[in-house]
Structure 1
């Protein structure tokens, strides 16, 4: 059940306004994880729903905060089975006026083991929400792990320091022109303890959100000198099909533009400002990566560093961190 309380101050006191929506055991959805959201014209809606039955959106009465229409609303995201490996929950919608798009963030899978965050976007707040490959998040014919949603956050581990598992159930904070993703995650050595993470969101030229591989530490977007790019990095590919952690792989950027990472060999180029482009020889995961550079705090090594975050032409998220010259 989702209820409503009101107050003239964020600190309270709060008045109980009663029930907004309730579901029962055999209903087609689960009435939790409420996210009230305004569309670009200021009209209030609520996106909600969890685990089985999918995600729904419904208009709210601006005077009462209750549902404006009877029923559950419109289904905008779903998966094909009501199990932990078929879960979709924790919806959050944000509007980006620069791209005139609505972005739906949802979490997949088990919050204890392999939670991950997927994103799709729409021209309308009520959908349809499609990923970079044009797949509708409400279409259950796609394989849930492999074929649906831009996976922007999942379990990972750099070569040194503790990694993280099951990051998810996010919110998005818009602070002026800056965007941040707020979510919980579990340390790999003791998954019983969840922690709060805040990470910077950057936006690709095509208007897709990508997430920093390091937790936020006050960094600002800025132009990066080219001389800082060559050297040894670590690269993480946030593969859709991987349950749990993804391990970092070595990445070497040479002064002449040559790039190597494991069995991959290719070239890198730089726009002179903030975008690093990787061109690899043909791989099944895509050959071209648009990567956004950002100064960052290295939480694993306790020092300043450079990171990149972006995606390839197939919508697979790519992370990186500079290690040494």
Structure 2
């Protein structure tokens, strides 16, 4: 079983109150010039607490807003953005109340709870499991003894027979040992690997009413090792399965073909073509085992990427794919989910790859860690910061060219004196900026998430060069395993020089909202300073350079 969810622990919620913010409360240009925004413009700055444990109980779910979010997926349908995620909640408060519960929003800031597609595991899961076990020469596992896990759905709006519906692919994991069928505990260990995961599919034309029609089996975890499911010890991480059937993502390609991509740890990500109407695999899968990689992948999908070639326990998972301007962008999570979780992105001109990172590394062939860093554990001053920021969904705002990143963020352990703070899972919605790979490649754009969460800040007009002058909190967002990247002071001076975290010269292209810091171009936007008290509007930046192996994040403080 993937280590991703072996560490899921009980989870917590936050006080979600909102305060109106008027012109007098706002510094539209982060403390620079004051262009006098429209005096009639008012908007709501979120004022909910990041530690939501005080309203964690199930009875308070209508106050949760973005509390209790894990592995989200978002799709727009009938005027709302619908979001669904993994079964996880602080204190396990959501247990027993249905699976893949969701939220919906009209503005990406205020979210209300909605029910999920079902309360009990669909009967096809146990039936499929025991059918496979029978073909393997194994005894059936009584349905009441099957240990289920409900993980990481993906949801998309699709047209089926002339009707638009929400289509959801979901993961159900079986946490029993293969050999004996016993529940996965150390005392039950029987020198075999744990059972497989399944991906199923359901559809809805009434997600607000939580009315879904289950369509059944799509695929499952599969092995290239035949029937050799033996495991030498609990410290053996060689892995029986080649593909782990969790963390699906789904895309309709420009040519109209539909594809499912999935995978977690084990050997990498599988690309499986599915029928546009049924949502099921185009080709016959057959038994979920084979005696070679080539035999397996000819049926269960082409491998399009892996973090480490040859490893059956490579630390990447949670693929998410979009298509933009001639490229398929494939986002993924690195490392364990509690603290070190971070997001990377690669791209390809073809759905099957090869996928390359910003430096030209070949992710399809597993040629090392990929860049850029899209998110990473971080800490601005005056705050606890966030960790575990990955397993994202990427979506476009309806009728705009704006793209968004959404994932959970966890508080560090013992934040605010809460011993269980790392089980706090707050949904983070962030705008994506598309930044040049270098000063010599202005059109080679890569997606980076902004450092502050989205709050729907109105357009207060042009961000001018004068407004950038002042003091910033600068983060060199670089890969440090299980550590937060901290902020240091950066001063941008009116004479075009800078001091503190960076030295040298800076310049600004007002029309593109691109700030050049030395040889790194970052994109500038307005967002809310969530760490300020009270929260206020400020300027932020994000960007990278192809040889930096890091991302620059910044927030104006003075």
TM above 0.5, one fold?
A: yes
Match of 1:277 in 2: 516
Counterparts of residues 186-265 of structure 1 (less than 5 Å): 186-188=410-412, 189=415, 190-204=421-435, 205-219=443-457, 223-262=462-501, 264-265=502-503
Question: 1:51, 1:290 → 2: CA distance?
Answer: 33
Question: 1:155, 1:241 → 2: CA distance?
Answer: 9
Structure 1 residues 172, 23: CA separation in 2 closer, same or farther (over 3 Å shift)? same
Work out whether 1:30 is the aligned partner of 2:244: yes
Contact 2:457 2:537 (C-alpha < 8 Å) held by counterparts:
no
Question: 1:220, 1:201 → 2: CA distance?
Answer: 16
How many Å apart are 1:151 and its aligned residue? 1.2
Match of 1:17 in 2: 215
Instruction: Give aligned pairs, total.
Output: 307
Question: 1:244, 1:51 → 2: CA distance?
Answer: 21
Match of 1:152 in 2: 374
Match of 2:360 in 1: 134
Match of 2:408 in 1: 184
Structure 1: which 4+ aligned runs deviate by more than 6 Å?
none
Work out whether 1:303 is the aligned partner of 2:303: no
Question: 1:220, 1:151 → 2: CA distance?
Answer: 28
Question: 1:323, 1:6 → 2: CA distance?
Answer: 46
Flag the structure with larger Rg: 2
How many Å apart are 1:6 and its aligned residue? 2.6
Q: 3-state DSSP class of the match of 2:405?
A: strand
Contact 2:371 2:550 (C-alpha < 8 Å) held by counterparts:
no
Question: 2:551, 2:199 → 1: CA distance?
Answer: 34
Deviations 1:24-52 (A, max 9, x none): 56220200111121111221110111121
Work out whether 1:95 is the aligned partner of 2:319: no
Contact 2:242 2:312 (C-alpha < 8 Å) held by counterparts:
no
How many Å apart are 1:223 and its aligned residue? 3.3
Per residue, is there more strand in 1 or in 2?
1
Work out whether 1:289 is the aligned partner of 2:520: yes
TM-score, scaled to structure 2? 0.53
How many Å apart are 1:82 and its aligned residue? 4.6
Q: 3-state DSSP class of the match of 1:191?
A: helix
Q: 3-state DSSP class of the match of 1:8?
A: strand
List runs of 5+ in structure 1 lacking aligned partners.
Answer: 280-287
Match of 2:291 in 1: none
How many Å apart are 1:5 and its aligned residue? 1.6
How many Å apart are 1:208 and its aligned residue? 0.6
Q: 3-state DSSP class of the match of 2:339?
A: coil
* Higher RCO (CA < 8 A, seq sep 6+): 2
Question: 1:228, 1:149 → 2: CA distance?
Answer: 31
How many Å apart are 1:316 and its aligned residue? 2.5
Contact 1:55 1:88 (C-alpha < 8 Å) held by counterparts:
no
Contact 1:162 1:300 (C-alpha < 8 Å) held by counterparts:
no
* Greater Cα offset, 228-237 or 15-24: 15-24
How many Å apart are 1:9 and its aligned residue? 3.1
Question: 1:242, 1:232 → 2: CA distance?
Answer: 29
Per residue, is there more helix in 1 or in 2?
2
Question: 1:246, 1:272 → 2: CA distance?
Answer: 29
TM-score, scaled to structure 1? 0.89
Question: 1:216, 1:6 → 2: CA distance?
Answer: 29
Work out whether 1:112 is the aligned partner of 2:351: no
Contact 2:396 2:402 (C-alpha < 8 Å) held by counterparts:
yes
Structure 1 residues 115, 42: CA separation in 2 closer, same or farther (over 3 Å shift)? same
Question: 2:475, 2:351 → 1: CA distance?
Answer: 32
Q: 3-state DSSP class of the match of 2:555?
A: strand
Contact 1:152 1:238 (C-alpha < 8 Å) held by counterparts:
no
